[in-house]
A and B are shown apart, each in its own frame.
Chain A
Amino acid sequence: MNTPDHLRYTKSHEWILFADDGTAKVGLTDHAQDALGDLVFVNLPQVGDALTCGEALGDVESVKAVSDVYSPVTGTVKAVNEDLLDTPEAINSDPYGAWLVEVENITDQEELLDAAAYQDHCAQED
């Protein structure tokens, strides 16, 4: 399982990368994509949508399952990764490159884990 050190993680298996300008990108962890299996579609929010930390921002579909993706922060959607609409498999092949949304105007965040803590969390869940 790959958990890059420069990212922060949620217990619900999202990663978040904060940029210097106060925005952040959110995606699904390697652990998550492995558990979900081959992804076939993503439902993303619209630019401008308000996100609330801990609430679903969209979902990802495999052939026989659908899983919510939770927002680690409260803020506004600045951009969505529209490439994923055509190539959801990118989440499987490159989970940390395949960001789902970019968030701005961040006002709140949930308790985030560093790589080591996230690895412990995954180990406990298994």
Chain B
Amino acid sequence: MGSYQPSTQEERQAMLEAIGCQSMDDLYAQVPPQMRLDHLDLPDGKSELEVRRILEGIAAKNTVFPSVFRGAGAYKHYIPAIVKSVTSKETFVTAYTPYQAELSQGVLQSIFEYQTMICALTGMDASNASIYDGASAAAEAVAMCRDRKRSTVLISAAAHPMVRRTVETYCFGNGMEVKTVPVKNGFTDTQALTDLLDDTVACFYLQQPNYFGRIEAAKELGEAAHAAGAKFIMGVNPIAMAVLKTPGECGADIAVGEGQPLGMPLSFGGPYLGFMAATSALTRKLPGRIVGETTDHDGRRAYVLTLQAREQHIRREKASSNVCSNQALCAMTAAVYLAAVGPDGLRQVAERCMAHARYAAQKVCDVPGFDMVYPGPYFHEFVTTCPCKPEKLLTGLAKRGILGPLPLEDGNLLWCATEMNTRDEIDALEQAIREVV
């Protein structure tokens, strides 16, 4: 049995006696005896080696696909070695939220640098220290837009289904009404958006590139929202920000997104990173932690958690969000990733994603029965038809070490390619499809 308690039984007994107690029962005197547990129905404790074997055995039951052609909200990108080496530093891993600025400048500065990079990426004025993930960031952004007169949320049906679901769930809590803007030809339907906009609409949420990989006319859709007095929220893929018009350039009031592509492994869905940035007009409405620059009494540059009077520990029931942590280590992961790739490197990653996706689309569509469903521009995901049952295709590909596309509700397939998918791999994919179908 492991315990991680340094003190021995004898030492503990001595400590008990030092404070005038006979047994531990004295210290639990306040716990009504009838409630106390005789024993826990758990397995006996184990040594480190035993636990290692158990967990390694469990992990071995998973299939890790060498070749991944699926995204749909979780993307396999190259993670530079420096990212893991920095973020596994023991101090960063085992620190708490940096309440004590004097002792936490390292963590605070890293968050400040992260905030700066998120602003650069999105073209927004101010970023928070991050939030749980892209979906919860979207839901928090929606809540930021509510005011006394406006409590309807419009969300594009071309947003990730789980983002939509999360927004709906948060709104079940706060009472905002959610309406969905339908999709037409793989794009958010502009006319439908215009029809739904009225003076009760607090905000419109658009995903860019959208769930089908398509590049929306974000600026125009945002202008329509603004014309009706609604706020415009964009959920964006951070890698795509190297090449696509930013939320700032599209006139968004709030930019959010799933930060996982910035150096985080797939990890069966988490931990990921929600990034969140806003115009200066909305800065004080941002939820969660925010780091700011100031000076100490000797005039030295210093970083602190700031604008805290927005937060739950001060406003309690009047706070607009209950968030009290961030995903600090994930935010640091993103910052190290962005610093390692740099401006040219990120652009390179984005362009590789596009080039590999186009090559993959071409190869997939060379196989009879696979056709692009939507014509026109896309980033690194695309939708094709499927001439057979998707399960048949996926099982066949899985046998060949390939995680194939995600089947959509309408029977079509959502594919993804990144810089990780080499030409050889894509050629092998085509071959595999031909064999399976």
Contacts and interface: CB of A to CB of B under 8 A. Distances in A.
A65 to B, nearest CB: 6
A66 B284 contact: no
Interface residues of B, number: 7
Contacts, number: 17
A52 B221 CA distance: 40
Contacts of A66: 309, 314-315, 318
Interface string B266-300: 00000000000000000010000000000000000
Interface string B310-337: 0000110010000000000000000000
A65 B314 contact: yes
B284 A41 contact: yes
A84 B284 CA distance: 15
B308 A63 contact: yes
Interface string B357-381: 0000000000000000000000000
Interface on chain B toward A: helix, strand, loop, or mixed SS? helix
Interface string A29-69: 00000000000110000000000000000000111111000
A62 B318 CA distance: 16
A64 B284 contact: no
Contacts of B315: 66
Contacts of B314: 64-66
A31 to B, nearest CB: 21
Interface on chain A toward B: helix, strand, loop, or mixed SS? strand
Interface residues of A, number: 8
A55 to B, nearest CB: 14
B285 to A, nearest CB: 11
Contacts of A63: 308-309
Contacts of A40: 309
Nearest to B313: A64
A66 B315 CA distance: 7
B82 to A, nearest CB: 36
Contacts of B284: 41
A80 B307 CA distance: 22
Nearest to A68: B318
A65 B309 CA distance: 6
A51 to B, nearest CB: 14
A62 B308 CA distance: 9
Nearest to A61: B309
Nearest to A65: B314
Contacts of A62: 309
A41 B307 CA distance: 9
Contacts of B309: 40-41, 61-66
Contacts of B308: 63-64
A62 B306 CA distance: 11
B66 to A, nearest CB: 53
Contacts of A64: 308-309, 314
A36 B52 CA distance: 55
A85 to B, nearest CB: 10
Nearest to B306: A63
A81 B307 CA distance: 21
B433 to A, nearest CB: 59
B98 to A, nearest CB: 16
B297 to A, nearest CB: 14
A63 B305 CA distance: 10
A63 B284 CA distance: 13
Interface of B: 284, 307-309, 314-315, 318
Interface of A: 40-41, 61-66
17 contacts: A40-B309, A41-B284, A41-B307, A41-B309, A61-B309, A62-B309, A63-B308, A63-B309, A64-B308, A64-B309, A64-B314, A65-B309, A65-B314, A66-B309, A66-B314, A66-B315, A66-B318
Given A41-B307, A66-B314, A66-B315, 6 more contacts: A61-B309, A62-B309, A63-B309, A64-B309, A65-B309, A65-B314
